[in-house]
């Protein structure tokens, strides 16, 4: 029969001042890093908030641009249709002098509408970065 004997030796040294100082230094460093991490996370959140605001502003501007384009397109279509109706009335023998005056006004309005569309397009192109 074989017997086995295990001996366990535990040393409980008195804490060394150098070890304690080093551990305190490590804890201080960890707390500092934790504070820096919290600061960085706050900064990241601020950047995200600013980006969200910028994206919302861009979306709002896109909506305005789409509205302007729709308005100019609709105005141009209405003016073109009215010009054709007046031209048809003139061709049908209506008072050509009065109708021609209205046709001239509509032509001027169409020219102005197209010029405004060109201004909007130029402004959008000038303020749109290249992807």
In a domain, 90, yes or no: yes
In a domain, 62, yes or no: yes
Average of per-residue pLDDT across 95-105: 80
Task: Note the pLDDT tens digit of each residue in 55-80.
Answer: 887 777 777 778 777 887 888 888 78
Whether the model clears a pTM of 0.85, i.e. scores above it, the answer is no
Question: Two tokens at 62?
Answer: 């896109």
Spatial contact of 86 and 103, defined as CB atoms under 8 Å apart: yes
Residue 88: the pLDDT is: 82
Residue 32: the pLDDT is: 86
Residue 129: the pLDDT is: 60
Task: In whole angstroms, give the CA distance from residue 21 to residue 27.
Answer: 10
In a domain, 8, yes or no: no
Alpha helix positions (H), the chain:
17-91, 96-126
- Asked if pLDDT for residue 130 goes beyond 60, the answer is no
DSSP state of 95: -
In a domain, 119, yes or no: yes
Task: In whole angstroms, give the CA distance from residue 120 to residue 71.
Answer: 12
Range of the domain at 25: 17-126
In a domain, 6, yes or no: no
Look at the chain and report how many structural domains it folds into: 1
In a domain, 28, yes or no: yes
In a domain, 111, yes or no: yes
Question: Two tokens at 120?
Answer: 């909007």
Average of per-residue pLDDT across 31-40: 82
Task: In whole angstroms, give the CA distance from residue 131 to residue 128.
Answer: 9
Task: In whole angstroms, give the CA distance from residue 40 to residue 46.
Answer: 10
- Asked if pLDDT for residue 123 goes beyond 70, the answer is yes
In a domain, 2, yes or no: no
Residue closest to 79 by CA, chosen among 101, 95, 103, 98: 103
């Amino acid at each position: 029969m074989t017997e086995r004997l295990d001996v366990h030796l535990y040393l409980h040294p008195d804490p060394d001042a150098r070890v304690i100082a080093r551990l305190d230094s490590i804890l201080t460093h960890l707390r500092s890093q934790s504070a820096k991490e919290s600061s960085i996370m706050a900064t990241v959140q601020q950047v995200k908030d600013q980006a969200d605001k910028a994206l919302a502003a861009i979306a709002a501007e896109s909506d305005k641009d789409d509205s302007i384009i729709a308005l100019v397109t609709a105005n141009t279509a209405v003016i073109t249709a009215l010009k054709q109706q007046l031209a048809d009335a003139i061709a049908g023998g209506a008072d050509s002098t009065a109708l021609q005056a209205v046709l001239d006004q509509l032509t001027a309005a169409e020219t102005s509408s197209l010029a405004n569309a060109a201004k909007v397009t130029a402004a959008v192109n000038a303020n749109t970065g290249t992807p």
